[in-house]
């Protein structure tokens, strides 16, 4: 049975928030837009989009014990079913989000940036999770529907709300910030990501500064002092009446990285957080991860939280699938497995370089090699081909032995590689996924990375899935023998 403390929306409150008509006297404990993951007690929102109409799945959601928000009663659904009938489901989703924001007393934190948004959001959720009831974006729900969706699912009793906000054009962040109304905003960094949609990197910085548009004077902006666009962002924040706090190695940073030690299994960090010295360990390797951790701890400090408790909590975080998660695959020698580094979710030149530095830290096993499987990086504009070729030096610096590539842009890199490091190229990622598993030997370390393509799955995920299937392939082969 649903208790009052579990309830996110009652029929009465949801109807009032959306101007809709509720059928039945129901309460919900979650919000969903996908019947594959909908749970009993969720409010299923039937959104319309390029991939289909959520109204086609309302009956399935109801069968699973959900309530449905619809703009009409779909065929085959009982007129007495638990529904919230609204004029437009997307507009109503935004209305729910705004109502959730208006009723909460939570400290609201928003994070944006060219790279590192999702990882920083996950660290924020963990750090604040030890300080109070924390609500955070799931996955990378950072766009025009993901932000209101995350807002709509926030419990009124939350102490902290963590929101990831993304964009690939000017003007996209402003309406999202005006929905989230952040008390604290982090900009991880500004880099030439999505550059084909902008006239300059300075314009990208301008787009990121839109995160301040929903903030009141007295809010706090936390900025990367090491980034070349710090001054531009600082000026934009000060014009909004915000207090600026910074993080980085720069001597003037409020959260300063004083020392760090990178290892294959993590990073040891010594830092000063607004004058408070802290020492902590991260399970995820990479200087860029340590930098974002400083932004997180600076946020905790600004929010009045226990920095040391938050830093201790960060030690529990591991990389997630598609963003550096490591897996070990038995290809015939369980004592000497293949190490898979799954970076398949997305890619940009700066993210590629950071990933290669992590790959360099991971020593292959006995007889193994470092292998990179790379897909095209998108939205890089007229310099796209050269930016792909420019990956040669960081690949060499990382000690990569073989490179496999997919896509017409990565073909430019492949053709420029020394012949002894060329693995194979195929524009079709599905074909490459058939090639790579067959060349692996025990001890190999293989990293898969590329930009997201059209559709739900990242393009390079098909390669990751093929590698994950290897142990089963070996089992089947053993049976046949």
Q: Distance between CA atoms of 34 and 20, rounded to whole angstroms? A: 21
Q: Distance between CA atoms of 143 and 122, rounded to whole angstroms? A: 17
* Residue 466 Ramachandran class (φ > 0 left, ψ -120 to 50 alpha, else beta): alpha
Asked if residue 224 lies in contact with residue 252, where contact means CB atoms within 8 angstroms, the answer is: no
Q: Kindly report the pTM of this predicted structure.
A: 0.86
Nearest CA-CA partner of 311 in 128, 152, 464: 128
Residues of the chain where predicted confidence (pLDDT) is lower than 50: 1-4, 475-481
Q: Distance between CA atoms of 321 and 467, rounded to whole angstroms? A: 14
Residue 472 pLDDT: 62
What is the residue-wise DSSP string for 300-348? HHHTT--HHHHHHHHTT--PPTTTTEEEEE-SS-TTSPEEEEEETT---
Measured CA distances, 355 to 144, 315, 346 (Å)? 28, 20, 11
For 71-127, strand residue ranges (E) read 83-85, 107-112
80-103 residue pLDDT tens: 999 999 999 999 999 999 999 999
Q: Which two tokens stand for residue 333?
A: 């020698």
Residue 2 pLDDT: 39
Domain ranges of the chain: 9-94, 104-314, 325-473
For the structural domain made of 104-314, what CATH number should be given?
A: 3.40.1190.10
What is the residue-wise DSSP string for 366-409? TT--EEEEEEPPPS-GGGHHHHHHTTHHHHHHTT--EEEEESHH
Of the CA atoms within 13 Å of residue 300, those in its CB half-sphere come to 33
Asked if residue 247 lies in contact with residue 270, where contact means CB atoms within 8 angstroms, the answer is: no
Q: Which CATH number fits domain 325-473: 1.10.630.10, 3.30.1280.10, 3.40.605.10, 3.90.190.20?
A: 3.90.190.20
Q: Distance between CA atoms of 380 and 351, rounded to whole angstroms? A: 13
For the structural domain made of 9-94, what CATH number should be given?
A: 3.40.1390.10
Residue 458 pLDDT: 66
Average pLDDT of the residues of the chain: 92
Rg of the chain over Cα atoms, rounded to whole angstroms, equals 24
Give the rounded percent of residues in the chain with a pLDDT score beyond 90.
82
Residue 146 pLDDT: 93
131-161 residue pLDDT tens: 999 999 887 788 999 999 999 999 999 999 9
Q: Which two tokens stand for residue 243?
A: 């207090």
Residue 475 pLDDT: 46
């Amino acid at each position: 049975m649903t208790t009052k403390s579990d309830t996110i929306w009652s029929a009465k409150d949801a109807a009032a928030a959306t101007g809709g008509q509720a059928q039945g006297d129901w309460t919900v404990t979650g919000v969903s837009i996908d019947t594959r993951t909908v749970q009993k007690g969720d409010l299923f929102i039937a959104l319309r989009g390029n991939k289909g109409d959520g109204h086609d799945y309302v009956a399935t959601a109801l069968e699973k014990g959900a309530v449905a928000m619809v703009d009409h009663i779909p065929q085959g659904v009982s007129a007495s079913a638990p529904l919230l009938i609204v004029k437009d489901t997307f507009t109503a989703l935004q209305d729910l989000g705004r109502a959730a924001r208006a009723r909460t007393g939570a400290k609201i934190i928003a994070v944006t940036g060219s790279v590192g948004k999702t990882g920083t959001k996950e660290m924020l959720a963990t750090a604040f999770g030890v300080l109070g009831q924390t609500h955070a974006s799931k996955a990378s729900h950072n766009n025009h529907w993901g932000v209101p969706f995350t807002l709509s699912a926030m419990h009124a009793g939350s102490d902290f709300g963590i929101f990831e906000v993304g964009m690939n054009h000017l003007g996209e962040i402003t309406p999202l910030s005006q929905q989230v109304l952040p008390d604290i905003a982090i900009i991880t960094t500004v880099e030439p990501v999505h550059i084909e949609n902008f006239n300059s990197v300075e314009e990208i910085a301008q787009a990121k500064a839109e995160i301040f548009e929903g903030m009141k004077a007295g809010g706090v902006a936390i900025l990367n002092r090491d980034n070349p666009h710090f001054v531009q962002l600082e000026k934009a924040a000060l014009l909004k009446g915000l207090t600026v706090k910074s993080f980085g190695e720069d001597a003037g940073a409020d959260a300063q990285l004083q020392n760090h030690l990178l290892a294959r299994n993590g990073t040891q960090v010594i830092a000063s957080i607004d004058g408070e010295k802290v020492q902590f360990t991260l399970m995820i390797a990479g200087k860029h991860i340590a930098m974002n951790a400083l932004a997180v701890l600076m946020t905790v400090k600004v929010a009045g939280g226990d920095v040391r408790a938050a830093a201790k909590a960060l030690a529990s975080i591991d990389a997630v699938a598609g963003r550096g998660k490591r897996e070990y695959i038995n290809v015939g020698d369980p004592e000497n497995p293949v190490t898979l580094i799954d970076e398949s979710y997305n890619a940009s030149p700066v993210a590629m370089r950071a990933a290669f530095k992590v790959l360099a830290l991971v020593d292959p096993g006995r007889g193994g090699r470092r292998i990179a499987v790379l897909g095209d990086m998108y939205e890089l504009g007229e310099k796209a081909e050269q930016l792909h070729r420019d990956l040669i030096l960081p690949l060499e610096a990382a000690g990569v032995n073989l490179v496999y590539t997919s896509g017409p842009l990565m073909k430019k890199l492949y053709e420029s590689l020394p012949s002894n490091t060329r693995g194979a190229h195929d524009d079709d990622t599905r074909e490459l996924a058939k090639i790579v598993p067959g060349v692996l030997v025990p001890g190999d370390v293989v990293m898969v990375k590329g930009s997201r393509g059209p559709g739900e799955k990242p393009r390079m995920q098909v390669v990751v899935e093929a590698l994950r299937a290897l142990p089963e392939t070996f089992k089947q082969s053993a049976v046949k023998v």
